[in-house]
Amino acid sequence: MPNIPIVGSDEYIARLRSAPRPGGEKMLAFYEHRLGVIGTDPKLMLMLWDDHLVHRGDGVFETMKWVNGKLYQLDPHLNRMKCSAGAIHLAPPCPMDDIRDICIEVARAANRPHGMLRLLLGRGPGGFGIDPLECPLPALYVVAYTFSPKPEEAYATGVTAFRTSIPAKQSYMATIKSTDYLPNMLMKREAVEKGYDYPICFDHLDFLAEGAVENVCIVDAGGTIRVPAFDNCLAGTTMRRAIELIGGEVPVDFGKIRESEIYDAREFIIVGTTADAVSVVRYNDKPIHDARPGPVAKRMRELLQKDLEDTGIPVYGA
């Protein structure tokens, strides 16, 4: 049996500071509501072990980006978080207006022109059971970290996708942005193992759902953008905004999509926070249309980039 030393607070903290911290170089600034301050030392970015967010996945989250000092889609993300939290009977520890201000301040503290913001709202600490009543105060965590945009080559040549063996989440879970992302992780792992850029999942009725962390849509032979109805997948903030922006130029339809319709499509498009809109040119190793990025995906990306510049919330001087 190992002879593990029992130490006091000072030595424990000293060891904590000297312990390896993989990924620490990506962490820029962070906030925990219990403490009420913004930290910048990634070795102190800790979460309590008995927080139900950790050992039960009992929480919700949002991810957003800022580019050239402008935070994009902050209010839509916060509105979705409010809906997700309500669906699991979780109230934040402070008003949503305060959370909005906290997000801007954490991004500002990162002191970078570009970055990502992850917002976590959890049941909070209180024990290792499953009863939410053992957690007296919800937890709120906000972290700013580095943003690595997709290389321009991906937009110029397109990406690949495949049908993952992992099914879409049950509809009542798929429509909540909860921290339970185990199926999403398994999808991504399978994509890496098989050498594809993106995994695509289908629901129990064999209808198209979503990617691991992205929404999807097709452009059919008639030129209509076809979007999976938001009943078997998450209603993406980027997808919603992209459709709002392009809706006056291209007809849009929400509904059910079979896999066969992907093969017949003019375009198959991945839409998400980090990628904006990117064309899938090969699906299950078969070409989509002429196996080149399509004009609708290009236009979506142009509109989203312009919208960020026009409507993004200034991080510096906000």
| Catalytic (active site) residue 306 | no
Catalytic site residue from 177, 188, 286, 306: 177
Q: Which residues contact 131 (CB under 8 A, 6 or more apart)?
A: none
Residues 226, 219 contacting (CB under 8 angstroms): yes
CA atoms within 13 A on the CB side of 12: 6
Q: Give the β-pairing of 215-219 and 225-228.
A: antiparallel
Residues 170, 162 contacting (CB under 8 angstroms): no
What phi and psi, each to the nearest 5 degrees, are found at residue 38? -100, 125
SS3 state at 208: strand
153-178: burial string, b at 16+ Cβ within 10 Å, e else: ebbeebbbbbebebebbeeeebbbbb
Spatial separation of the C-alpha atoms in residues 300 and 15, rounded to whole Å: 49
Q: Closest by alpha carbon to 53, among 119, 112, 108?
A: 119
- Catalytic residue set: 177
